[in-house]
């Protein structure tokens, strides 16, 4: 007979705003048998096998769909838009969307953009190379993903600025005062929607080698994405693919600054880039956790979670689980690949749709940076973003490096 979760005597852990080192120390202090903890939202799992079990169990639904409600948003037009997004859809609606778009986000599709990614990154490094110093966040991380997303969609260079503004406005959905920002967010969504409809019309008459053309052509058993769904996918690419990539690049470089031998090694052996990206994302992921709620009563490991229960999944903690990673506290880009993947892209049906693109972006950026920014060092101190459950990374990261490369 399963025990009701609320009747268990569980340790409290603050996954919402706890300092990462404290959380990490907390995890290490827990015995291996302590698989469930209590936190601000409800419960939390921290071990790799429990994290993947929750993420792969379709009865646990993504908490993304509940965020507007939890933040006190009641605007019906906004809520309606959220409902058709792949980021919050569940069940058959979600399965259909994933099936239709999967091919357009394949590694092969991402590979098309690799030369362009190098061109963008080289251009950004050119801007700071002579000085030998930069704010890595504002000079490199911030501007990196927008041109790539524009190129991915087939939007011309003259529109990068427009996209940059829409992205910043739309990304306000992650801010703590989102209720006050709804007008700004919806205006940007409207403008982006109108722009995307124009691009769709162009691509329908003149197909090109880009994501939008692939998405328009995507078809399964006679089923196709509607114009509204195409617009929603572009919105999801901006929401899911901009700040994540920026922050992951920032976290990775902060980590390398702490491990100069690994930085020099990556410069010397750029073929290590794929392993370096997985290891950096394991050791220091920009997405440290995600959350689910029980869509019905769920029994797991003899515990009953009533419908509606929230559970947070500690991706960062699971990524340091010694049951899966042989030397979890050592950052080593030459270590052989672990038997199971790092979890910073999630797992299960909501596994990051843009993982191939993000991997390509990081695999192209990091070796170039290592080669052109030798002797990288933090110049003073990094200012970190608030340590919540959302996207984490450096807000400012002053760096120095050997100039002129
Ligand atoms: C290093 C960069 C990135 C990281 C760390 C990351 C992380 C994640 C994670 C953890 C999830 C699953 C969330 C959950 O299960 O609750 C996710 C989903 C998603 N990501 Fe990413 N992401 C990254 C880059 C991207 C890019 C570049 C794109 C767009 C091209 C993208 C688009 C999406 C979308 C659309 C989803 C929702 C998928 C679904 O619910 O079916 N992401 N991402």
Q: Which atom of ligand 1 is nearest to the CA of 149?
A: 30
Q: Is 96 in the pocket of ligand 1 (CB under 6 A)?
A: no
In the prediction, which pLDDT does 18 show? 47
| Residue owning tokens 């769909």 | 65
Return the best residue to mutate from 345, 347, 391, 393 for the ligand 1 pocket (most ligand atoms within 8 A of CB): 345
382: DSSP letter: P
**Dihedral pair phi/psi, residue 185, rounded to 5°:** -65, -45
Q: Is 85 in the pocket of ligand 1 (CB under 6 A)?
A: no
Return the best residue to mutate from 173, 286, 292, 353 for the ligand 1 pocket (most ligand atoms within 8 A of CB): 353
| Residue owning tokens 């031998």 | 261
* Integer Cα distance of 82 and 186 in angstroms: 11
| Residue owning tokens 């689910």 | 292
Q: Is 277 in the pocket of ligand 1 (CB under 6 A)?
A: no
In the prediction, which pLDDT does 388 show? 62
In the prediction, which pLDDT does 297 show? 98
Q: Which atom of ligand 1 is nearest to the CA of 361?
A: 27
In the prediction, which pLDDT does 22 show? 65
126: DSSP letter: H
State the pTM of this model: 0.95
Local confidence pLDDT in tens for the 405 residues of the chain: 899 999 999 988 765 444 566 667 777 777 778 899 998 779 999 999 999 999 999 999 998 888 777 778 888 888 887 777 888 889 999 999 999 999 899 999 999 999 999 999 999 999 999 999 999 999 999 999 999 999 999 898 899 989 889 988 988 887 778 888 899 999 999 999 999 999 999 999 999 989 999 999 988 778 999 998 999 999 899 888 999 999 999 999 999 999 999 999 999 999 999 999 999 999 999 999 999 999 999 999 999 999 999 999 999 999 999 999 999 999 999 999 999 999 999 999 999 999 999 999 999 999 999 999 999 999 999 999 876 657 899 999 999 999 988
Contact residues for 169 (Cβ-Cβ < 8 A; gap 6+): 184, 185, 187, 188
In the prediction, which pLDDT does 72 show? 83
Distance of CA 153 from the midpoint of ligand 1 (Å): 17
* Integer Cα distance of 349 and 95 in angstroms: 8
Distance of CA 281 from the midpoint of ligand 1 (Å): 13
In the prediction, which pLDDT does 84 show? 74
């Amino acid at each position: 007979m399963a025990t009701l979760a609320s009747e268990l005597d569980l340790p409290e852990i603050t996954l919402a705003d706890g300092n990462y080192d404290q959380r990490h120390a907390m995890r290490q202090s827990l015995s291996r048998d302590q698989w469930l903890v209590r936190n601000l939202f409800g419960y939390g799992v921290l071990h790799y096998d429990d994290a993947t079990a929750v993420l792969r169990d379709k009865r646990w639904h993504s908490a993304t769909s509940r965020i507007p409600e939890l933040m006190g948003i009641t605007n019906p037009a906004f809520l309606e838009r959220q409902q058709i997004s792949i980021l919050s859809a569940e069940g058959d609606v979600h399965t259909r969307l994933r099936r239709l778009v999967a091919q357009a986000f394949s590694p092969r599709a991402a590979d098309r953009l690799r030369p362009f990614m190098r061109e963008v990154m080289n251009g950004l490094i050119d801007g700071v190379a002579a000085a030998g110093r930069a704010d890595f966040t504002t000079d490199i991380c911030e501007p990196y993903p927008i041109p790539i997303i524009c190129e991915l969609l087939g939007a011309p260079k003259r529109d990068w600025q427009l996209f940059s503004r829409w992205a910043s406005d739309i990304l306000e959905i992650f801010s703590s005062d989102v209720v006050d920002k709804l007008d700004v967010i919806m205006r940007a969504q409207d403008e982006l929607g109108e722009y995307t409809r124009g691009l769709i019309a162009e691509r329908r008459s003149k197909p090109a080698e880009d994501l939008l053309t692939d998405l328009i052509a995507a078809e399964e058993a006679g089923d196709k994405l509607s114009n509204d769904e195409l617009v929603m996918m572009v919105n999801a690419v901006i929401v899911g693919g901009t700040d994540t990539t920026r922050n992951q690049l920032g976290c990775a470089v902060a980590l390398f600054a702490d491990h100069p031998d690994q930085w020099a090694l990556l410069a010397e052996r750029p073929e290590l880039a794929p392993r370096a990206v997985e290891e950096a994302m394991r050791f220091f992921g920009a997405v440290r956790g995600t959350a689910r709620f029980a869509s019905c009563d769920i029994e797991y490991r003899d515990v009953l979670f009533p419908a509606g229960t929230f559970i947070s999944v500690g991706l960062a903690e699971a990524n340091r689980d010694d049951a899966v990673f042989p030397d979890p506290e050592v950052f080593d880009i030459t270590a052989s690949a672990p038997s199971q993947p790092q979890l910073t892209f999630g797992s299960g049906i909501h596994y990051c749709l843009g993982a191939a693109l993000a991997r390509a972006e990081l695999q192209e950026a990091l070796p170039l940076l290592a080669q052109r920014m030798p002797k990288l060092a933090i110049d003073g101190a990094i200012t970190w973003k608030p340590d919540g459950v959302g996207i984490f990374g450096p807000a400012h990261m002053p760096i120095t490096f050997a100039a002129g490369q």
